[in-house]
Structure 1
Amino acid sequence: MAELATIARPYSLALYQAAGNQAESAAQWLDDLAAVAANPLLLEWASSPKVTAEQVLDLIVGLFEEPLPELGRNFLRTVIDNGRLAVLPEMALQLRQRIHAERGRADALVRSAYPLDAVALAELGQALEQRFGRPLQLKVELQPELIGGVRVSVGDEVLDLSVRARLDQMKVALTA
């Protein structure tokens, strides 16, 4: 959604600049905050006029075993004060993209019909890094409707090696 991306951009840029060489650790706690903020019940509760920003901050910070660093606490306070809690997942995504771009890496979403074991995932990762020409951070999602194989998305590039894609290609070829 373009609107969320537009709203998230200045926040992720500001956090990236403020974190400096601690950007990787900031991305980790921001991912955790984004996961919490993705909860619709929390968002509904936080948007209630009866709930103060300090209550929202205390609840979210209280969910974590390790204390949030001061930068994280200040960032979260700013996000809550500006009513942007729902945009945290997009902020986390944009921060990761900035870090990866700086380091010449990219995120790769691997959709697989079946769970991949560690060895298969490592081999797939090496092959994909050669194919895309840069180091990749793999994230795996199960998608049984692929029937077999994988579908890989790196940025706006998609490599579809699934059985479903091949069946669709065969269907087109046979009906043409």
Structure 2
Amino acid sequence: MAQETTVARPYAEAAFQLAQASGALAGWSDGLAMAAAVVADDRVAALLGHPRVDDERKAGLIIDVCGEALDDQQRNFVRLLVQRDRIGVLPEISHQYDRLRAEHEKTLSAQLITAQPVDDAVRSRLEASLSKRLERVVSLDTQLDESLIGGAVIRAGDLVIDGSVRGRLNRLTSALSR
């Protein structure tokens, strides 16, 4: 995993620079995500790893499946990855590209995990509060987890705020066992 991250980083940065120069950050994000999904498919992965399939056919397969989701620069990017035998790290390139884009646009996608459904007013207040604290535009995706018993857990990047009853009980148990 660490090697994949290291290999993907310069490609993600190059894709980000190309997208920024052409003013197509969202288009590149969508195109890379689509191509990454194609590459991650087991049937396509088997074909990409086959020694008798040449680079032109490998790149052509990905480009054909993606269709209009890829522009000319993105098609050339796919061809480059195939030629350099880096197409297998495309999902990681897409992930790193999205992180670079979010950092540039000062956005953050966070998870709100609760034991009970949360209404829109509470979710909006939490988004506003997190946006102020993290100095980014935060969008919350909600998820239910009844094992929390009550309260909520917020995950925003590396930040985890555990205000759940289960989390409090675990901290209490840990403190009592010392």
Q: Give TM-score scaled by structure 2 length.
A: 0.78
Aligned residues: 175
> For the residues of structure 1 that align with 2:71 and 2:154, how far apart are their CA atoms?
35
Secondary structure at the aligned position of 2:161 is classed as strand
Task: Specify the alignment match of 1:103 in structure 2.
Answer: 105
> For the residues of structure 2 that align with 1:132 and 1:36, how far apart are their CA atoms?
34
Moved more, 117-126 or 8-17: 117-126
Task: Specify the alignment match of 1:127 in structure 2.
Answer: 129
Matched, 1:160 2:137: no
Moved more, 133-142 or 78-87: 133-142
Task: Specify the alignment match of 2:93 in structure 1.
Answer: 91
> For the residues of structure 2 that align with 1:36 and 1:142, how far apart are their CA atoms?
30
Q: Aligned partner of 1:133: which letter?
A: E
Moved more, 23-32 or 158-167: 158-167
Matched, 1:112 2:87: no
Moved more, 21-30 or 135-144: 135-144
Secondary structure at the aligned position of 1:66 is classed as helix
Moved more, 15-24 or 154-163: 154-163
Task: Specify the alignment match of 2:5 in structure 1.
Answer: 5
Q: Residues 106 and 154 of structure 1 are in contact (CA less than 8 Å); yes or no, is this contact kept in structure 2? A: yes
Q: 1:111 to 1:88 in 2, by over 3 A?
A: farther
Q: 1:87 to 1:164 in 2, by over 3 A?
A: farther
> For the residues of structure 1 that align with 2:53 and 2:149, how far apart are their CA atoms?
47
Shift of 1:17: 1.6
Shift of 1:46: 0.8
Consecutive unaligned residues of structure 2, counting only runs of 5 or more, are none
Q: Which has the larger radius of gyration?
A: 2
Secondary structure at the aligned position of 1:158 is classed as strand
Alpha-carbon RMSD? 2.9
What fraction of aligned residue pairs are identical, expressed as a percent? Answer: 31
Map Cα deviations across residues 94-151 of structure 1 (whole Å, 9 max, x no partner): 212222222223343x162569678265444233223323212445566665555543
Secondary structure at the aligned position of 1:73 is classed as helix
Matched, 1:72 2:74: yes
Shift of 1:71: 0.9
Q: Residues 112 and 144 of structure 1 are in contact (CA less than 8 Å); yes or no, is this contact kept in structure 2? A: no
Q: 1:50 to 1:95 in 2, by over 3 A?
A: same
> For the residues of structure 1 that align with 2:26 and 2:62, how far apart are their CA atoms?
21
Q: Residues 115 and 148 of structure 2 are in contact (CA less than 8 Å); yes or no, is this contact kept in structure 1? A: no
Shift of 1:69: 0.5
Matched, 1:59 2:67: no
Q: 1:46 to 1:151 in 2, by over 3 A?
A: farther
